[in-house]
Amino acid sequence: MSGTVAIIGAGIVGVSTGIWLRRMGLDVTLIDRNDPGQGTSYGNAGVLAACSNIPVTTPGLIMKGPKLLLDPDFPLFLRWSYLPKLFPWLVRYLGHANDADTKRIAAGLSPIVSDTVLQHLSLTDGLSAAAFVRQSDYNFAYTDRAAFEGDAYVWNLRKETGFAPELIEGEAVREYDPAFGPSINLLASMKEHGYVLDPGGYVAALARDFEALGGKVMKAEVKDFALDGGSISSVLTSEGPVACDRVVLATGVWSAPLMKKLGLKIPLETERGYHIVFENPEGAPTAPAMVASGKFVATPMSAGLRCAGVVEFGGLEAGPSKAPLDLLRKKVKSAFPNLKYSGEESWLGHRPAPSDSLPLIGEISGSGVYAAFGHHHIGLTAGPKTGRLVAGLVANQPVNLDLSPYAPDRFSSM
């Protein structure tokens, strides 16, 4: 199929879409105000988390939420001055914290995360970026069996979709990996998962591979769309108009203002996420681990041990807070007491969080603009699959998946 496609956003979803579209023979321009891989895709935990199909909004969250928010030892933070702006989104978000909605959302997330390793391997087949992808276990670390059983609701849902863990207990934990300290006495180990050695470097390499395939990368800020008879004709940028007959909107939480220009108000909030890279580590885990007590993921990467997690609500404008980073350091020390390192690098990024925890994937009202954003905690995991699906939609190829859970106009009646 002939035509010109503009992709807004050079994160994992955008570059994945671009590569698949180039493989299909379309003319593609990738547009971002920053260099590829330098936004939200830069700072994630790097895990290819095939089993991460359960939303945060599980039953009971409404009752537990206020207590957790006031607990200085729990990794949930709020800038209270931001609460009035956050409140409408928060009401919608918490409204999904029930059994029926949790199972519905999990059913929507499963198809775009469950084959993530295969999707990353397919995306990078024959490309230089393949060097960044590793296959590994993914371990969920608990203080003891009681703590693991406290998550029974989530694990039962995972088992229903084919993800049952191998349990490692007691001193067998340290035989498996001596990095874990005495506070960790049970691992729920998931096999056939993976991780990326450097998420930002990976996406940058994918963008270079995209250019080698004949794609174009343009550094500019997108201001608006130009429509002709309801169909896209160009993207208006800080560097001038870019003519196109199809657009993919893949710029994370910054997609909402552009969606508004198309007549759709999306309940999309930034969930501020932090990471610390502990450089030149000794005593670090050898495979990615989700430490349940601290709600953070520790992943061995090229630059060191990246520990990523912590949830903070405070909008896009405010700088990093001290308390989330201090708590993250405390939780890391508890889980890995023998960790030694030469220095550290910290980061703050913005996860795009739709109020119903499902990404937006699909064409917007026959306009030729396709949504591909809102992946919350699963951006790296689901990015290549989303890119492949959207490329299929753009090129009028069958996608073989019911995309109705991700419909970008699903909020229009709210």
For residue 11, the 8-state DSSP code is S
The predicted structure's pLDDT at residue 61: 86
Helices (H) and strands (E) in the chain, counts: 12, 19
Average pLDDT over residues 210-233: 95
Write down the mean pLDDT value for the chain.
95
pLDDT at 2 over 60: no
Q: Assign 121 a pLDDT band (cuts: 50, 70, 90).
A: very high
pLDDT at 368 over 80: yes
Is the overall model pTM greater than 0.85, yes or no?
Answer: yes
pLDDT tens string 127-151 = 999 999 999 999 999 999 999 999 9
Residue 217's CB: how many other CB atoms inside 10 A?
Answer: 19
Average pLDDT over residues 385-414: 92
The predicted structure's pLDDT at residue 1: 43
* Tokens 């405070």, residue located: 314
Percentage of the chain beyond pLDDT 70 is 99
pLDDT at 239 over 90: yes
Dihedral sign from CA coordinates of 376, 379, 385, 391: positive
pLDDT tens string 349-367 = 999 999 999 999 999 999 9
pLDDT tens string 55-75 = 999 999 888 877 777 778 888
Distance CA(185)–CA(56), nearest Å, equals 24
Q: Which domains are seen in the chain, by residue range?
A: 4-406 (3.50.50.60)
- Please count the CA atoms within 13 angstroms of the CA of 233 that sit on its side-chain side: 5
The predicted structure's pLDDT at residue 70: 73
Average pLDDT over residues 218-242: 95
